Structure 1
């Protein structure tokens, strides 16, 4: 049965979209009353803006083009993730955030050693998995930075368990109430919305940092976006990770 006024969308899917739009309005209302959520979304926008300005930089350098494409991928992923979480699909939104996490780790690796870009883009599947699989990239970053706590692996595994794989823990993101039952379809709960948007903000800081590392310092067209991101980054860090002096 087709919806009234529609020639292609089944009635139930048309109705589902209407419910999603109602949830979006509810989500916007929740965000409007929460400065911290607003700040997360502002840093997301700033990171996306950096990615957008970066793709406009004209170059014949094939390695730099790879960084541009990866930045564009993260721009699209942020847009899709935001669309999903505001529509009540929190778990699916988080799944896309895992894609951003994996991509920003790869871009981070390339930012400090740009010779790796050519190796990556020219590698066949076997070589790519041997040297640039998600776990290999995380291990290389930890070794480079001298990190031993494996925090990168922990956050990747968290995204995988809650959103990436069908596990018992993944049902947690399908519950409007912590101890309630899982539900089918989209829903809006302030705690779940906050959890996903907070992770989105944390990822956006990393994405902006890595995209900024590839933007030519003397390219004046990119300066306003870089300055805007830097200002928001300071505000974001001061809000969520204040220094002892700021806390007092």
Structure 2
């Protein structure tokens, strides 16, 4: 069996990937809170931003963590189309989950449906990302650990959506996103510990791109997107602030119609 190393670069990749997961979650929760206070097109746009933030955060977390993944005795390459598909899956399912909560009439049912959809989506993103790995040998999975990682993903997603519905203070959002980041990271590493590789050494060149050629630049790009969106969200006025500035600009004595 090939010896697997999940943190070949030391604590850097787990710490950085956890930070990415937390940033995506915090931004997603903040946008969902804003969406629930808005209506019409504004609500839809906030929900789309929330979904893209959570999806990006989860995907970036996975692949930043994968930068530290090594298998002794073989190089690792990534199938580019499959890796991009995993990003698309993350975006689409998180979007479905967030919209289920944002527009659901019955909060409880919307939460269960959204949590299940998003959790299964996060898990499928993880295993699609793993399926994109090319190496000399055979990869197998421990079904119990795979099942456990899917359960963690569903629980984490449901908890995050519940937080988005019930939490609005910035401190509580920060706390919830730290827990969400920990849940996403534990789902990732549970999924990774389900992996075993039987290496068959070979001199043949592997198909696909190396992590540094492809995964790293993409993760940096998505990380920058998260950072810029966070700045935009932080600076845009809330509904309450808009209301206050509108009333401050009204001439004294006139009543709002």
Q: Which bracket does the TM-score occupy, shorter chain normalised?
A: 0.3 to 0.5
Q: TM-score, normalised by structure 2?
A: 0.33
Q: TM-score, normalised by structure 1?
A: 0.34
Structure showing the higher strand proportion among its residues: 2
